[in-house]
Amino acid sequence: MSKKIIRFILVGILLATLLMYRKRNMDNNEIVKNRGVPALGTVTESSPPAFYGGAHTNFKFYTKSNQRIFIFGFKRPHNKIKKGDRFLVLYLPEKPKTAIMLFDYPIKDSADFKRYVKKFEQMRKEKKKE
């Protein structure tokens, strides 16, 4: 086989892998949003944007069973997030490492947390009715 054909095949395999990974992440996010348990997440580190297209954040949270979970390399939407910021996290109880930090839901105090939890419960009830 020629080198061009081999390169073409390798690029095709790479693109297919990336597309499957992206779809799986999107599916996981939907599953977590629909079934995830809320928790308070704290940013432990926030990196500047890298040349390959994104800034990443590390965060931690505690599950209901008081298990501490660290998530590394979670992609964030903007650069205004810094160490110590707190946001709503949704995680799957059976797989706590399957978690998403919701940057649209900043938490300043317990009232914010309770309000967001109530909002998600309401959204889920409405979704079940459909």
Q: Where are the domains of the chain?
A: 36-129
Residues 6+ apart with CB under 8 A from 74: 56, 57, 58, 59, 100, 101
Structure tokens given for 29 = 């996010």
- Residue 53: predicted pLDDT: 53
This prediction has a pTM of 0.66
Structure tokens given for 28 = 């996981």
Contact (CB, 8 A) for 102 and 90: yes
What are the pLDDT digits (tens) for 70-85? 776 666 666 677 888 8
Q: Mean pLDDT across the chain, nearest whole number?
A: 76
Strands 68-76 and 86-92, sheet pairing? unpaired
Q: Please check whether the domain covering 36-129 is classified as CATH 3.40.50.
A: no
Helix, strand or coil, per DSSP, at residue 109: coil
